[in-house]
Amino acid sequence: MAVKRSVAAGHFIVLFCIIAVLPSATAIKIYTRNKVYGVRGEDVRLSCYFWSWEWLSDDVTLSWSFRPEGSRETISIFHYNNGVPYIPNEREFKDRVEWVGNMGWRDGSIKIKNLDFTDNGTFICEAKNPPDIVGSPSSVQLVVYEKGPVQAGVVTGAIVGAVLGLALLIVVLIYLIKCLMGRRRVPVKDISIVEKGKSGKAASGRQGQVVYASLDQSSKKFHSEKKSKGVEGSKKEKK
C-alpha cells in the first residue's frame, strides 16, 4: 500500500513538472539582430522573425516600438493586426516607416527611411499568435553614421592584401636586380673576347699585308734586275 502511494506521488510530481515546463517550451520565439548600422539620409531594414508552435492565427499581432538612445521613454511606431499593417504617423517617424514583412512567412520586418541621428536607439519587436501569446520581445540597436562604418573584416582584408602586395613587389625587385646584374656581367666578358679577337685579326691582317707588300717589292726588284742583266748580255753578244 505504501509502495502504491509512493508511485502515485511520483506520477503526480512528474505531471506537475510537465505542466510547469510546457508553457515555456511552447512559448513564441522572436528573433532580431543585436545591432544594425545605417547611414544618414539612407534607408535601413529592421528584420524581425518569430516562431510559434501554433498554426498562424487570424488574430496574430506584431508591433514595433522605439526607445531613443539615453532615454527610458518608448513610443509605438508600427502595429499589425487582423491582417492589416498600421503605421502611426506621429512625431519623428512620420512617413518614414514602411512595412516590408510577410506574416505568412512569420516575417515582421519594417524599413526606416531617411535616417537621421535621432534614430539612434533601440527598436523592440513583439509578436503574439493566439493562443500562443507567451514570449519575450526581441530588440535591435540601430547606430546611424554620417558615412558607412568600416567593418573590421574590410580593414583586415586591406591589411592582408597590402602585406601580400608588398611581399610580391619585393620578390619582383629582387628578380629584376639579379637579372640586371647577370646582364652586366656576361656582356663585359663577351665584349673583351670579341675585341681581343678583332684586334688579333686586325694585327694578323696588317702583318699579312706587310709581308705581301715586301714580297711584291722583292719580286719586282728581282724582275727588274733580271731584265737589266738580259739587256747587258745582248749588248755584249752584238759586240
Q: Which helix (H) or strand (E) holds 210?
A: helix 152-238
pLDDT recorded at residue 128: 94
Residue 206 covered by a domain: no
CB 13 within 8 A of CB 121: no
Residue 34 covered by a domain: yes
pLDDT single digits (tens) 52-108? 988 998 899 999 999 999 999 999 999 999 899 998 876 789 899 999 999 999 999
pLDDT recorded at residue 231: 46
pLDDT single digits (tens) 197-238? 555 555 555 555 544 555 556 556 655 665 555 545 554 554
Q: How far apart are CA 33 and CA 192, in angstroms?
A: 78
pLDDT recorded at residue 228: 59
Residue 121 covered by a domain: yes
pLDDT single digits (tens) 156-170? 566 767 777 787 788
Residue 66 covered by a domain: yes
Residue 7 covered by a domain: no
Residue 217 covered by a domain: no
Alpha-carbon distance values, 55 to 83, 208, 213 (Å): 15, 116, 123
Q: How far apart are CA 164 and CA 181, in angstroms?
A: 26
Strands, E assignment, 26-170: 29-31, 35-39, 44-46, 49-51, 61-68, 75-81, 84-86, 97-99, 110-112, 121-128, 138-145
> Taking CA 93 as the corner, what is the angle to CA 91 and CA 96, rounded to the nearest 5 degrees?
145
| Domain boundaries, position 56 | 25-149
Q: How far apart are CA 118 and CA 67, in angstroms?
A: 11
What is the total count of domains within the chain?
1
For strands 121-128 and 138-145, give the pairing. antiparallel
Residue 229 covered by a domain: no
What global pTM score does this model have?
A: 0.54
CATH number at residue 93: 2.60.40.10
Q: Which three cell numbers stand for residue 67?
A: 526607445
Residue 12 covered by a domain: no
